[in-house]
Structure 1
């Protein structure tokens, strides 16, 4: 049942993203962060497969990809990352599908929704972007995605669900720190690599 749900989520997200023709964005500077994600993210996603059994230490990177590439382009890039993980790692295709959905697609989609709410209800300035979307927003959506995964998949022997949720909360802050840091660096030095950044909106809005 979970496999059918994950396949449905993956197909729905991919169909929606491809309908928006995100490959057009690769003709500009976004090709660089897209290629960087394909090279670097698989190494981080492969890490849990080589750790001792227990709660996996998992870095998502999906929220940073949404800030850098936009959701429509982030979805197929995350699919490529999952395929690379499947090809290089010892786990099977279902594990790669699960990772793509719960570590990639769900945080990315939640980040898209939270970003829309932030743009609608909060002032348009640099601090709201870097702290709201980059730092605090990432912590929230990565934790929510991790919590949903634990509620549906929790099978770690000797670890209570409450303890797993605490671990997910702590791990979400690692994602938040890196995303917020790279978002701030991008705004300051390379805004062309952030598809969701706009000088008109956040500096003059």
Structure 2
């Protein structure tokens, strides 16, 4: 009968230890220590009939500890989360605003006609709206007369328009230059009166960039 009593705990012990085999290797030293301490305490009994049951209790204690430790193990899975792609937005291109001036003159004259003042005023208002702007006033003539005379006449016409911008409409002198090209840059046929009237002119362009 004592043999059966001793065998049963050993069979149970084998099953408990097999259950612990599923734990991680890192838990075995602790499990073994728990089992050893419990077994040593019960092994102090001299009766062989209690020795087997002591082994069973020791194994059960160790197995329970190992099971509790195994339950505490958490599996951490790293999940990489990709940030959504933010489409790049290109800045809007700068807009260029432009105003043009075309003042016509009578033959062999440099006086600005009254009807041209409205156009000159528009240029002045544009330059006041955009204080960083500057301009170059360009004078031209038809082909009647000598080149030297027409060169001088074109310069006087350019200066006349510049004077209106500065004196009449308040544009700072440093923002307006004047230059004459004489008869060198016709835009129409100088063989006709209509063409020569078109060539007797002063032109200017003002541009402003708006972001």
The answer, yes or no, to whether TM exceeds 0.5 is no
Computing the radius of gyration from Cα coordinates, the structure with the larger value is 2
TM-score with structure 1 length normalisation? 0.30
| Higher strand proportion | 2
| Higher helix proportion | 1
TM-score with structure 2 length normalisation? 0.29
